[in-house]
Amino acid sequence: MAEPARQPVFIAFQANGDTIPIVDAIEQDNPHAQIDESPGMVKITAPGKLVVKRETVEEMAGRAFDLQELQVNLISLSGSLDETEDEFTLEWKL
């Protein structure tokens, strides 16, 4: 039996130099995610769950990174948010 389709979640950022390592990290950790770039915005959509890992962002940025920094360039998101010092997770919870 096929798994039922999962409600998509998304996160959208301003498109600028600060968000490049964030988007690259999200893409690496969420290969199922779809990235849509438009002038001024990058939107990342994934079925069911999307995870931003601090460690991966730090690798991509080449510096220490506090996940609170995501909020500086955050435009919008959908899904229930669960945030720790190490992960920022979006998913719809039943």
pLDDT given for residue 36 in this prediction: 98
The structural domains of the chain, with segments of one domain joined by +, span 8-91
Q: 3 or 43: which carries more pLDDT confidence?
A: 43
Does pTM surpass 0.75? yes
Residues 31-87: pLDDT tens digits?
999 999 999 999 999 999 999 999 999 999 999 999 999 999 999 999 999 999 999
Rounded distance, CA 51 to CA 74, Å? 15
Which CATH number describes the domain made up of 8-91? 3.90.56.10
Q: Model confidence over 71-88: pLDDT tens digits? A: 999 999 999 999 999 999
